[in-house]
Amino acid sequence: MLLFKAKFIKVEVLKTKINATFAIHELTEDDDLRMTQCLDTEGYLVFNGDVVKREVLEAVKDRTIGIDDKGFSPSQKLRASLFQFWVNDYEGGKTFEEFYTLMMNRILDDTNKKLDEKRNLQRESD
């Protein structure tokens, strides 16, 4: 996980993506190594322009958030459920990995569509 104090300095909206540029104020050798290891990987970006409260920082660092009492994350439970569906009901001829990717992309597309609709409504009201 990468966690830095940074300044959000630029946003560039392109046809298929958005580029966001941040200036990092302090970088240790460890940070530099972790950044290099993360190049070309996908992840989640959390940016808060306000002073980060200790509780928020701890929540970001806490890898057990969302883990149930059996040690499973929501994404693990979703993958298991999709696997059971693939084994018992799916007749599309795809491998599980292909099926899983297809289903996750559908979920992401649906979620992004809803977010886009909400953003468009907000823009129209502004």
Q: What is the pLDDT of residues 81-96, one digit of tens each?
A: 999 999 998 888 899 9
Residues 6+ apart with CB under 8 A from 27: 4, 35
Which structure tokens are listed for 71? Answer: 């040690």
Lowest-confidence range among 16-20, 31-35, 100-104? 31-35
> Is 41 in the same domain as 1?
yes
Boundaries of domain holding 31: 1-62
Number of domains composing the chain: 2
Is the alpha carbon torsion for 58, 64, 69, 73 positive or negative?
positive
> Is 118 in the same domain as 75?
yes
Confirm if 35 and 2 have CB atoms less than 8 A apart.
yes
Phi and psi (nearest 5°) for 103? Answer: -70, -40
With tokens 């920082």, the residue in question is: 57
Domain boundary among 17, 40, 62: 62
